[in-house]
Amino acid sequence: MSPAPEPVASELIELLSLERLEDDLFRGQSRDIGTKYVFGGQVLGQALSAAQATMDPASGRLSHSLHAYFLRAGDIDAPIVYNVDRTRDGGSFSVRRVTAIQHGKVIFFCAASFQADEPGAEHQATMPETPMPEDVPPTQVSPEALAKLPPKIQRWMSRSGPFEFRRVHPRDELNPARQPPFQQVWFRLGEPVGDAPELHRALLAYASDFHLLGTATFPHGISYYQPGVQMASLDHALWFHRPFRADEWLLYSIDSPSAQNSRGLAHGQIFDRTGRLVASTMQEGLIRVTPPTGK
């Protein structure tokens, strides 16, 4: 009998379940997943959780968009305080502004907009033709390749995280070839969770930070895992279009229209396996390459 899987999904849900200090003030903890600083998706998910906690459940309003800026790197060893401003509760929409604070400084802020379900005109982009997730093997890195990396990167690449990812066209991140800036990745939460749409939105906000900016490195034959390559999210936008479940397979179709001035731009569309477009993303991030020194 194979060993039971680690309760990583429950750990992530606990991470997104913030401690309420006051009506509009929350505190979240961080989890070291092998990155040097706090993972940007964690801050996105926690900030959205904080905003959602200030909404009246009777309103039926769910988040439909989030626009965020990353200002400073987050300290993994310190809690993050989220201050929510109830900017507006109108007749159809509500807006919340969330500020994340660490060591007395703002490290992140975002605005999130909420709306109740409302009928209207509807259309969507077509999901790209791609194999189903069952036909795409999980991507793995050989032990020999992992051994050449710093310990933190080894933990990042070998970790069994809460989300399972399957890249339709795997890429060697340690020795990347130049290729067009497009990729498709199937992903889902590794364990079933409850039905609350607010939880699935926070989980998708967390997962949406994976693979997005990296697509902008494809034409240049570089990756985050190489020495001398510095990458960091600068801003992030997320739109929710239709209901979905984060614990069921979703396809992340990503392209990068531009890179310039040490910044890369990436655009993503997220489909469920039936082809419904459930969310869209945009992100710009720092991509800085430092020339090697010495011989």
For residue 148, the domain's CATH number is 2.40.160.210
Q: Which residues pair with 250 in a beta bridge?
A: 187, 272
Residue with tokens 């993994």: 76
Domain, as residue range, for 146: 8-116+133-289
| Banded model confidence at residue 271, pLDDT cuts 50, 70, 90 | very high
Catalytic residue among 209, 247, 272, 280: 209
- Whether 294 is covered by a domain: the verdict is no
Per-residue pLDDT at 9: 83
Catalytic residue among 42, 46, 65, 283: 283
Alpha helices in 132-280, H assignment, sequence order: 143-146, 151-158, 197-207
Alpha helices in the chain, H assignment, sequence order: 8-16, 40-53, 143-146, 151-158, 197-207
| Banded model confidence at residue 142, pLDDT cuts 50, 70, 90 | low
- Whether 18 is covered by a domain: the verdict is yes
Q: What's the N-to-C CA distance of the chain in angstroms?
A: 52
Cβ pair 266, 283 in contact under 8 A? yes
Report the pLDDT averaged over residues 33-38: 80
Q: Is 2 a catalytic residue?
A: no
Enter the DSSP assignment of 77: T
Q: Is 283 a catalytic residue?
A: yes
Q: Is 94 a catalytic residue?
A: no
- Whether 264 is covered by a domain: the verdict is yes
Whole-model pTM: value is 0.91
- Whether 295 is covered by a domain: the verdict is no
- Whether 65 is covered by a domain: the verdict is yes
- Whether 33 is covered by a domain: the verdict is yes
Per-residue pLDDT at 235: 98
Catalytic residue among 233, 253, 256, 280: 233
Domain count of the chain? 1
- Whether 126 is covered by a domain: the verdict is no
Instruction: Report pLDDT digits (tens) over 223-251.
Output: 888 888 999 999 999 999 999 999 999 99
Of the listed ranges 30-34, 95-99, 235-239, the least confidently predicted one is 30-34
- Whether 121 is covered by a domain: the verdict is no
